Structure 1
Amino acid sequence: MSAGLVTGVALLGALAGRAAVPLARRFVDLWVSAARPDVPGDPATCRRDAASDAGAGRRGNRLGATLAGAAVFGGLAAARGGDPALPAFLAMAAVGLALGLVDLACLRLPDRLVAAAAGAGGTGLVGAALVTGTPGRLLPALAGAAVSFAGYVLLALLPHSRLGFGDVKLAAALGLPLGWLGWPTLGLGLLLPHLLNGVVVLVLLAARRVRRDTPLPFGPAILAGAWLAVLLA
């Protein structure tokens, strides 16, 4: 893909990042309004100030989401510009930007957004398979989703695991494009989130920003790991 087209896709990503902010805020506001602090263990734990810190309110953080969208889209275009499945990757990335913001604010991954990512990715991959006349490539994609789902279910069921089933569903959705690109890419996409999250946790612990028992979102690491795996495929 030419530099001009990559730049154009990056600009599209900037718009997607900008649009992800109000979309994420809608889900955050729904949970804030549903919170019942008088009930012990109420699941609606996100707060408006947390949403702002995660990028759904402040001007600087809106800029961060815009820049992140440009980087994500631009990287995909540069790495996968000749792949007919690029629209599927971009569609999933657009939804992923909103998912990351919501998870940072609320430690939650909305089922509707995860389903939208899976639907957009699956539809795009079906289109790519029809255009290229390679419907057989859909089987590894579905296998990738199944393997990702099974692997994350096992991790979520381990004693003291901090993975939620939102993470499991997101991993399964991202298994579609990773499986499309092949087993090595799928393996990398399953491994990288844990490495990235480990580095982040160590840095936060060293900076005394969190404690060992502080709950942290894992969705952004899943998204970033899948993105890096696609770039390296």
Structure 2
Amino acid sequence: MSAAALVSIALLGTLVGLVVPLMSRRFATADAGSWAFAPPQPFRGPWVAPMVAASVFVGLAGAAADDPALPVFLAVGAVGLVLARVDLACLRLPDPLVLVAGLLALGGLTVAAVLSDAPGRLLGALGGAAVAGTAHVLLAVLPGSRLGFGDVKLATVLGLPLGWLGRDALLAGILLPHVLQGVLVLGLLAARKVHRDTALPLGPALLTGAWLAALLT
């Protein structure tokens, strides 16, 4: 992908990032100052969301520049940014947002498969959703599990683009979020920022893990 195209995608991501806080407020039930997992104050400025969104978009564009499903990845990423912010605010992944992400992924990948004459990749996407959903259902029903079914639904949706990218991306996208979450929890426990029974959002880790899987595979 050319430098000009990457700059354009970065600008698009920046614009999306400007909208993310506004959209997240419509779905978050907690007050703006009472985040479930409160980030340090320097990371809550108005410039953070645009920078994060631009990074997400540029990363996806660099990793999937020649993939016909790149617009789908960007659309799902945009909704994912809102979901992550809502989950951080109130430990909730609203069903309407997850449904929008799922419809964008399924509809967009179907169109991409038809236009690129790649029905096998669409089957891979559907299989990825089934595998990711089943794996997280099993995790959710384990004794003592704190995995919510909002997390299960999001993991299922993310299985669509991950399955489109292939088996390696799918496996990485299933495993990486839990590795990231485990490292985060251990760090917070060591710093005495949380207790063992403190509820923490998993949605941001699911989304970050899926993004990293797309970049690394």
Q: Which residue of 1 aligns with 2:33?
A: 49
- Counterparts of 1:1-233 in structure 2 under 5 Å? 1-28=1-28, 31=29, 46-51=30-35, 60-233=44-217
Q: 1:53, 1:167 → 2: CA distance?
A: 16
Task: Name the CA shift for 1:150/1:137 in 2 (closer, same or farther; >3 Å).
Answer: same
Deviations 1:33-53 (CA, angstroms, capped at 9, x unpaired):
xxxxxxxxxxxxx34422598
User: Which 10-residue stretch deviates more, 203-212 or 216-225?
Assistant: 203-212
Q: 2:73, 2:32 → 1: CA distance?
A: 31
Deviation at residue 208 of structure 1 after TM alignment: 1.2
Deviations 1:24-65 (CA, angstroms, capped at 9, x unpaired):
00112xx3xxxxxxxxxxxxxx3442259868xx99433111
Q: 1:61, 1:167 → 2: CA distance?
A: 27
Q: 1:226, 1:157 → 2: CA distance?
A: 22
Deviation at residue 212 of structure 1 after TM alignment: 0.9
Structure 2 runs not aligned, ≥5 long: none
Aligned residues: 216
Q: Is this contact kept in 2: 1:190–1:226, CA < 8 A? A: yes
CA-based RMSD: 1.9
Q: 2:60, 2:144 → 1: CA distance?
A: 35
- For 1:186, give the aligned amino acid: L
Q: 1:224, 1:98 → 2: CA distance?
A: 13
Q: 2:36, 2:155 → 1: CA distance?
A: 26
What is the percent sequence identity of the aligned residues?
Answer: 56
Tell me the TM-score normalized by structure 1.
0.88
Task: Name the CA shift for 1:25/1:51 in 2 (closer, same or farther; >3 Å).
Answer: farther
Q: Which residue of 2 aligns with 1:34?
A: none
Q: 2:119, 2:146 → 1: CA distance?
A: 37
Q: Is this contact kept in 2: 1:25–1:51, CA < 8 A? A: no
Partner of 2:111: helix, strand, or coil?
A: helix
Q: Is this contact kept in 1: 2:36–2:201, CA < 8 A? A: no
- For 2:4, give the aligned amino acid: G
Partner of 1:198: helix, strand, or coil?
A: helix
- For 1:64, give the aligned amino acid: V
Q: 1:209, 1:203 → 2: CA distance?
A: 9
Higher alpha-carbon Rg: 1
- For 1:80, give the aligned amino acid: A
Q: Is this contact kept in 1: 2:173–2:209, CA < 8 A? A: yes
Deviation at residue 7 of structure 1 after TM alignment: 1.5
Tell me the TM-score normalized by structure 2.
0.94
Show structure 1 runs of 4+ deviating over 2 A. Answer: 51-55, 58-62
- For 1:139, give the aligned amino acid: L
Q: 1:62, 1:111 → 2: CA distance?
A: 26
